């Protein structure tokens, strides 16, 4: 099983939210989600938790792309623009620092027009345990 398949299947919360990984490379990942009525908050726009879930799925992919079991330690998200029903959101994650224990990553979520919706940064912790996957993609 690939890392992409493992996370798309195993991250049940992200899967149930409609988020899915479409690309995974060492230190890089893309996840996508289309905003539906189930993602809306009381103000009629995409709920922040849905945006965080999408960004977090991409963060999980790049954090684990080095072959070691890695968990998030801290995330900061800044919401810049609302997303509405029908928006196709793309989370592009890059590993800014490939530290052997504490990698640092940046995730930018854009809509189908390329407009920046939110930015998340993440710090993770790499354990000694190997991840069991055949390949990334």
Tell me the per-residue pLDDT of 74-110, one tens digit each, with 9 for 90 and over: 999 999 999 999 999 999 999 999 999 999 999 999 9
Indicate the pTM of the whole model: 0.96
Across the chain, mean pLDDT equals 97
Its sign, for the CA torsion 108, 111, 112, 115, is negative
Strands 88-97 and 28-34: antiparallel
For residue 132, the model assigns a pLDDT of 85
Confidence of residue 64 (pLDDT cuts 50, 70, 90): very high
Q: Are 55 and 89 in contact (CB under 8 A)?
A: no
pLDDT at 60: 97
Percent of the chain with pLDDT over 70: 100
Q: Which two tokens stand for residue 67?
A: 């072959």
Both tokens assigned to 112: 């189908």
Give the per-residue pLDDT at 11. Answer: 97
pLDDT at 48: 98
- The residue written with tokens 């893309």 in the block is 30
């Amino acid at each position: 099983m690939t890392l992409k398949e493992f996370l798309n299947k195993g991250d049940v919360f992200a899967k149930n939210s409609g988020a899915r990984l479409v690309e995974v490379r060492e230190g890089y990942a893309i996840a996508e989600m289309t905003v539906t009525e189930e993602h809306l908050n009381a103000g009629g726009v995409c709920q922040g938790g849905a945006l965080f879930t999408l960004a977090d799925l991409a963060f999980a992919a790049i954090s684990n792309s080095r072959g070691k079991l890695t968990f998030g330690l801290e995330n900061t998200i800044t919401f810049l623009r609302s997303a509405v029903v029908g928006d196709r959101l793309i989370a592009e994650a890059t590993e800014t620092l490939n530290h052997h224990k504490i990698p640092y990553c940046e995730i930018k979520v854009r809509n189908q027009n390329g407009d920046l919706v939110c930015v998340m940064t993440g710090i993770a912790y790499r354990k000694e345990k190997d991840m069991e996957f055949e390949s990334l993609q």
